[in-house]
Structure 1
Amino acid sequence: MDISVDNDHNLLLPSIEMPAETNEVAHEALLGAEMPVEETKKIATMATLGSTPFSEDGEEVAHHAIVATEIVPDPVDPPIPDPVLQNAVVLFDPRLPDCRQLLESAKKRGLFVTAVLPKPPKKGLVKSKEFYPAAEDLLDIGVHQVYEPPIGQIFDICECANNLQTIESQQNLRFLGVIPLREAAVDYTDILGAMLGLTVHNDLGLCSGRRDKGLMKQAVANAGLRTAKYARLAAPDGSDVPYAIKNLDLEFPVVIKTPRGMSTMDVYICDTMDEAVKRSAQIVNSIAPDGKKASYSLMEEFLKGDEFAVNLIASPSLPRGVRVTDVWRYNKVVMHGTRVNKWQTMVDPEDKMYHLIVRYAEGVTRAVGIKHGLAHVELMTTFDEKTEKYVDPVMIEVGARLAGGRK
């Protein structure tokens, strides 16, 4: 029987003269049952077409239906999509005031927040949980999880990295960065970031130069920038102070400070030789504010002029690598043998009066290897009335962190 259609295709139908003994057989192969050879001859499946039905000529099978959706030479498992990762950030050694602000920013960006407490406070010995919070205090304000060293064990950066990487794998997290929230944390954060496999960390070769004030001055001097005269003093009795003052041709007052301090802690302005010897011996024989033994004290020339603080942000995406965000002029007075800031005034960093200050602070930031994140540069300068500009800036210190009195 012939059937004509409007197009060029012909429709093949089974012959009406098909033998009556041919019975319809259920397609058991679709259910996974093993098919005997004789059954495959009766059932219109791909089994009757051979192993290569489309590449080689075979018997005519015009009335056999093809029961298949796809033919592949080597069957494979269906692809399993990668899990969706949750972006996360690590806050290292936070305080509650800082955490509250950063948690608001993290919430806007949908970030998972993990805090690291290297030295959990002992119950009953901490006066203010605002500045020395426990893990439960951080969880109460919205931190998602907190890592602290096991009970009875001191903090170890390698073990911390191992735990964070395990958390990252098990919870499908993707850490984007590690943020230091104290001066004592700036070197740990870069090391931890590198161990987590991040690329957004500062130069590890200059890691100590961002904490040790002596190495900091050395790095800035190596970059060709002006630094104050200084000397490292290691004598336990302070007997090397007179020689250092003579060798550097310094005049009193001089500054004696701990090399890894913060803010004005263990910073002394000494007007006499006896006081300088006493303070140097005191620092060498004591524990520094960060809880570590100071192997030497640092003596510096006393800088005169106006003190400024320059805050910057560093990123490889910026044209100059760093950008100044704000500049502050300090108003300090000498109290109890040190300089204490009573108030500060914001000035315009775009004003030509502060041009040299801005450029010098950018150079200091690059000199100590700050390539990602924030920087806080404190410097001394003098005002030139002829040019009406601040000239001859010289670094006091630089912090690779948020600005503020973060101990």
Structure 2
Amino acid sequence: MSEQAGPAVVVDPYSSGALFASALAERGIEVVAVLSSEKPPEAYASSYRPQDYTDPIVFRGDLAEVADRLRPLDPRCVIAGCESGVELTERLAPLVAPWRSNVAELADARRDKWAMAKAVAAAGLPIIPQICTDDADEVRDWLLRAGLTGRDLVIKPPKSASTDGVVKVAGGADWAGVFAANLGRVNQFGEVDDRLLVQQLVTGTEYVIDTFTQDGVHALVDVCRYSKVDNGPYMAVYDTMRWLPETDPAIPALLDYARQVLDAVGVRYGAAHVEIMNTADGPLLIELGARPHGGGQPRFNRVATGDSQIDRTVRSLAGEPVSADYRLVQHQLCVFHIAPSSGTVHGVSALEKVRDLPSHHFSVQNLVEGGPVRATGNLVDSLDFGFAILSHPDAAQVDADHRVVRDLERELVITPTDQPAAIG
């Protein structure tokens, strides 16, 4: 590996990627920001800290121009800050920092969920039955061949994130109508969903495996278990995310599968975020993000484990030893607030009591008394509303406080309006 001593290049330093600048600065490492578009996607705009960067480089369609500006800086790496930066990162890194880049020929498999699934299947791993196309007739034929006619389905974009555009189709009812309504939709990154994935709905327990890879060796940073609920017509609304102890019996099989997935899609360096459904027949990949766990998770992970993907990346770039595993030092749960309907909200002061809970570590609620709220349909809605991090040495206290949070939510009064309104 080259011992470049220049800056770290972070593409789209938003969401958890915004944490790189200060963490690297503490080790005397400069960060150069590359932006994949003139402005951050709306979902990430509030996390961007332009004051952390001198003269950010904006990609305007000319990859060579950006690479030519970066090479004289002798950068240590080119890494993605969040999902919107993955595609550009995977194109830039081999040109600018090949000693810390992933397998170039598999770049699409680290961003496009269809290419991802094909790469994982080609490696001999089980995947969720699925098809990706812009042709409803092709979907219909596939459903017949796969024996999925009349079965529960999921329709989603191949290149969005955070459950954006994910639709459950119970019993496959009017899947063609849902397909037609979502084809051509503009997703949260401002991209047109010109194809859609149609998948069999699989059930089980959902986990996220957070890793850090160096020279192709995939080390475990943390494991969290998701709980998701249906909220009216919306599937996969986040309920909670629980940090698991390293001794949890599910982890060995999940980690083995995740490592094989990372190999299959060509991850050789950096943080990754692998979401897996652990079914009765074993683990199945939901999706992989070739970037840190989003939503600021690494700063909360430090509380739960004393470490994070950001910290491991920094130690790697500073030439220091990088841990191979983790240990849970504090029981921790993220509780995502859920609005059951859209309208005007009253009684928001009830949520102030969340901060008085014994396990309260951090919380944010973005509702305004008498202001609008939209029904929670995806992770962006959850983060717009707010969430609470409950952390305590006693797991029972965390669980008790979780129940209190939900009780406090029920004190909110949402009055329907003619048109659902968005926060902010």
**TM bucket by the smaller chain?**
0.5 to 0.7
Confirm or deny that 1:118 pairs with 2:36.
yes
Question: Cα distance, 1:374 vs. partner?
Answer: 0.9
| Mapped partners of 2:222, 2:43: distance in 1 | 33
What runs of 5+ residues in structure 2 fail to find an aligned partner?
A: 297-379, 381-424
* Cα deviation, residue 405, structure 1: 4.2
Aligned-residue offset at 1:174? 2.1
The aligned amino acid for 1:113 is V
Q: By how many angstroms is 1:126 displaced?
A: 6.3
TM-score by length of structure 2 reads: 0.64
Q: TM-score, normalised by structure 1?
A: 0.66
Structure 1 residue 254 corresponds to structure 2 residue 159: no
Over residues 179-199 of structure 1, what are the superposed CA-to-partner deviations in whole Å (9 max), with x where a residue is unaligned? Answer: 211212212112211121432
Cα shift readout 1:95-129 (whole Å, capped 9, x = no counterpart) = 27642x2122211221121111221239xx96984
How far apart in 2 are the matches of 1:358 and 1:86? 33
Pairing partner for 1:161 from 20, 42, 67: 67
C-alpha separation in 2, matches of 1:286 and 1:127: 16
Aligned residues of 1:270 and 1:337 also touching (Cα < 8 A) = no
> Aligned pair count?
292
Match 2:85 to one of 185, 191, 198: 185
Q: CA deviation at 1:381?
A: 1.0
1:325 aligns with 2:221: yes
Partner residue in 2 for 1:130: 46
Higher mean displacement: 342-351 or 356-365: 342-351
**Where do 1:139-178 residues align within 5 Å?**
140=51, 142-149=52-59, 154-165=60-71, 168=72, 173-178=73-78
1:158 Cα offset (Å)? 2.0
Identity of aligned residues (%): 26
Structure 1, unaligned runs of 5 or more: 1-84, 384-390
Partner of 1:226, secondary structure, is coil
Structure with greater Cα Rg:
1
Rate the CA distance shift 1:283–1:405 in 2: closer, same or farther, 3 A: farther
Pair 1:212–1:297, CA change in 2 (3 A): same
Judge conservation of contact 1:263–1:405 (CA < 8 Å) in 2.
no
Structure 2 partner of 1:93: 12
Q: Which structure has the highest helix share of the two?
A: 2
CA distance in 2, matches of 1:254, 1:402: 29
Q: Which of residues 21, 27, 44 in structure 2 aligns to 1:103?
A: 21
1:330-350 Cα shifts (integer Å, max 9, x gaps): 011012332111111111234
Letter in 1 for 2:58: E
Retained in 1: the 8 A contact 2:208–2:276? yes
Q: Give yes or no for contact 2:16–2:82 (8 Å, CA) kept in 1.
A: no
Q: Is the 8 A contact 2:15 2:82 kept in 1?
A: no
Aligned equivalents of 1:220, 1:156: Cα separation in 2? 31
Q: How does 1:260-279 map to 2 (within 5 A)?
A: 260-279=159-178
CA distance in 2, matches of 1:287, 1:378: 24
Q: Secondary structure at the match of 1:208?
A: helix
**Aligned AA for 2:53?**
V
| Alpha-carbon distance in structure 2 between the residues aligned to 1:95 and 1:194 | 22
Q: 1:180 to 1:143 in 2, by over 3 A?
A: same
Question: 2:44, 2:87 → 1: CA distance?
Answer: 25
Could you tell me whether the CA contact under 8 Å between 1:257 and 1:268 is conserved in 2? yes
Q: Are the equivalent residues in 2 in contact too, given 1:89–1:112 (CA < 8 A)?
A: yes
Query: Secondary structure in 1 aligned to 2:276?
Result: strand
Offset at residue 353 of structure 1 (A) = 3.6
Q: Could you say if the C-alpha distance between residues 218 and 326 of structure 1 is closer, same or farther in structure 2, counting changes exceeding 3 Å?
A: same
* Structure having greater relative contact order (Cα 8 Å, sep ≥ 6): 2
